[in-house]
Amino acid sequence: MYTERVMDHFNCPRNMGEADGYNAEGTVGNAKCGDIMRMTMRIEEGVIKDVKFKTFGCGAAVATSSIATEMVMGKTVEEALALTNKAVVEALEGLPPQKIHCSVLAEEAVKAAIEDYNRKKP
Ligand code: FES
């Protein structure tokens, strides 16, 4: 049912926890399944130097948040804002249709953290 890549990110999540000295955070949730995803980032001069996640949710949510952190690490905030849930699903080599909303959560968490950064910017 799940691709090897999903299982890999679920079993060995990358970048789990809280980014050291983070200056951006975003928490999003899905009202239907109750899953919650939190992303923290340390952004310096518009570049994501560190990003970590904590996900209270299903295995697909863990896998999508894990791969999403890898996809935006080292990117500019503009590049990271262009991340789509479709790209996350492709990077995981697919998700079952009933799990697509988990990838939406990953996209939303990245965007929420960057919005927070933009809000706090002097
Ligand atoms: Fe809702 Fe996965 S079941 S995020």
Alpha helices in 1-122 (DSSP H): 4-11, 59-72, 77-81, 85-91, 100-120
Q: Is the CB of 76 under 6 A from ligand 1?
A: no
Q: How is residue 62 written in tokens?
A: 């863990």
Residue 58 in any domain: the answer is yes
pLDDT of residue 12: 98
Residue 29 in any domain: the answer is yes
Q: Distance between CA 40 and CA 52 in Å, rounded?
A: 5
Residue 9 in any domain: the answer is yes
Q: What is the mean pLDDT of the chain?
A: 97
Query: What pTM was estimated for this model as a whole?
Result: 0.96
| Torsion sign (Cα): 30, 24, 80, 67 | negative
Residue 122 in any domain: the answer is no
User: Is residue 58 among the annotated active site residues?
Assistant: no
Please tell me the total number of residues recorded for the chain in this structure. Answer: 122
pLDDT of residue 1: 87
Residue 112 in any domain: the answer is yes
Residue 93 in any domain: the answer is yes
Pocket mutation for ligand 1, best pick of 27, 38, 101 (most atoms within 8 Å of C-beta): 101
Residue 17 in any domain: the answer is yes
Listing DSSP states for 9-26 in one string gives: HHHS-SSBS--TT--EEE
Residue 35 in any domain: the answer is yes
Q: What is the CATH number of the domain that holds 101?
A: 3.90.1010.10
Helix (H, G, I), strand (E, B) or coil at 106: helix
Pocket mutation for ligand 1, best pick of 53, 99, 100, 107 (most atoms within 8 Å of C-beta): 99
Q: Distance between CA 34 and CA 56 in Å, rounded?
A: 9
**Banded model confidence at residue 122, pLDDT cuts 50, 70, 90:** confident
Which domain covers residue 107, as residue numbers? Answer: 4-117
The rounded Å distance from CA 45 to ligand 1 centre is 33
**Banded model confidence at residue 121, pLDDT cuts 50, 70, 90:** confident
H or E segment to which residue 47 belongs: strand 47-56
Choose, from 24, 88, 102, 113, the residue flagged as catalytic: 102
Nearest CA to ligand 1 atom 4: 102
pLDDT tens track for 76-98: 999 999 999 999 999 999 999 99
Domain total of the chain = 1
